[in-house]
């Protein structure tokens, strides 16, 4: 497996027009087969960081790289190597799950899949077969989230960005989701996940970063965190104890 970082933030900063500093000189990387969990409160800069990776926002300075390609300089090339699942996966409600998959997967540049391929992936993410051909109008958030992760799987990108993926999921769906992430990691995907959920992060992440007011105030590997009380650590960082 290539051990070069697939996702890399290099001195990444973002200051908005109103002067607010959303991300301040943040650097980290995620290698293939790794999950990096960004923890932090609301407004800590987690989503802004992901948005810079997706070129939804331009960085003020620094660079976000996907597979070594600057997402700001060559966004279309960079996005070929990344899949994205947002906090609230929103798909077309007047289309079925398979129709939605077909559209977004084609946008991702994959045109070789058949309906059977879509069904297999939907089953893999835990969406019952009877829902495959139903319009998304009646889908719960968990079901939509499963469709979103199915799109990400079918895109078969080496890197995946997840913005609060377990937010609002029931415990069972949350558990299934974590299992799915584990299997994706085992396939060699580099996963960057922003989350509020300390316990899920601790359970699945290889590296945990804590963001506060735009700064990456802590970045530790699973090994470095072993024996530490992550929850206490997080609360201390949030309270500014170590400043």
Partner 1 sequence: MLSTIITHELKNIFFSPKFSVTFIVVSLLLILSVIVGIDQYQKAIRQYETTTQLVQQEMREARGWMSLNNKILRKPDPMQIFVAGVNNDVGRISGISSFFAVKLSHSTFSDDPIYAVFRFVDFAFIVTVVFSLLAILFTYDAINGEAEKGTLQLTFANAVPRAQYIVGKFVGSWLGLIIPLAVPMLISLLLLLLWNVPLQSEEWLKIVSLFAAALLYVTFFISLGIFLSTMTKRSSVSFLFSLVTWVCMVFIIPRAGATVAGHIITVPTVAEIEAQREAFSKDRWTEYEGTMQEKWKARNAPTQTMTKQEREAFRDSKMWEWMEEDDRDRKQVQVDIDEQAKKLNEDLRNRKAEQEYLAFVLSRFSPASAFQLAAMNLAGTDIALKSRYEDALNEYRPVFNTYKDKKQKETGNSGGFRIEVNSDTGVKIDAGREKGVLDISEMPQFTHPKHTFSDAMASAVIDFGLLGFFSLTTFAGAFVRFLRYDVR
Query: Applying CB under 8 A, which residues contact partner 1?
Result: 51, 54, 56-57, 75-77, 79-80, 82-84, 86, 88-95, 99, 103-104, 106-109, 148, 151, 155, 161
Side-by-side strand order, sheet with 61-66? 21-30, 7-15, 61-66, 69-70
Distance of CA 50 to the CA centre of its chain: 8
Nearer Cβ to partner 1, position 31 or 155? Answer: 155
**Closer to partner 1 by Cβ: residue 29 or 95:** 95
Minimum separation from the CB atom of position 234 to partner 1 (A):
27
* Least distance between partner 1 and beta carbon 85 (Å): 9
What distance lies between CA 118 and its chain's CA centroid? 21
Nearer to partner 1, 93 or 183 (CB): 93
Cα–Cα dist 223/225, whole Å: 5
Structure tokens at 71: 């997402």
Residue (of 26, 58, 63) closest to 194 by Cα position = 26
Name which of 93 and 229 has its Cβ closer to partner 1: 93
Provide the minimum distance between the beta carbon of 242 and partner 1 in the complex, in angstroms, as a whole number: 32
Number of H helices, E strands in the chain: 9, 10
Q: Which residues contact 112 (CB under 8 A, 6 or more apart)?
A: none
Which lies closer to partner 1 via its Cβ, residue 152 or residue 208? 152
Smallest distance, partner 1 to C-beta of residue 87, A: 9
Min separation Cβ 229 and partner 1, Å? 35
């Amino acid at each position: 497996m290539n051990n070069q970082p697939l996702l890399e933030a290099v001195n990444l900063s973002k200051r908005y027009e109103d002067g607010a500093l959303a991300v301040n000189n943040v650097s980290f990387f995620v290698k293939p087969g790794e999950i990096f969990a960004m923890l932090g409160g609301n407004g800590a800069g987690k989503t802004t960081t992901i948005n810079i990776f997706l070129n939804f926002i331009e960085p003020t300075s620094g660079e976000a790289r996907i597979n070594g390609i600057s997402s700001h300089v060559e966004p279309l090339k960079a996005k070929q190597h990344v899949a994205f699942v947002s906090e609230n996966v929103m798909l077309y409600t007047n289309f079925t799950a398979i129709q939605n998959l077909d559209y977004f997967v084609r946008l991702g540049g994959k045109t070789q899949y058949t309906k059977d391929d879509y069904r297999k992936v939907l089953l893999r993410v835990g969406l019952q077969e009877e829902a495959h051909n139903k319009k998304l109008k009646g889908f719960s958030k968990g079901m939509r989230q499963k469709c979103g992760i199915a799109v990400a799987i079918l895109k078969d990108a080496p890197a995946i960005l997840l913005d609060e993926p377990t937010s609002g999921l029931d415990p069972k769906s949350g558990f299934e989701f974590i299992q799915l992430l584990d299997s994706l990691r085992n396939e060699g995907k580099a996963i960057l996940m922003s989350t509020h959920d300390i316990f899920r992060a601790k359970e699945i992440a290889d590296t945990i970063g804590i963001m506060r007011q735009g700064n990456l105030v802590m970045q530790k590997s699973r090994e470095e965190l072993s024996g530490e009380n992550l929850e206490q650590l997080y609360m201390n960082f949030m309270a500014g104890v170590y400043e």
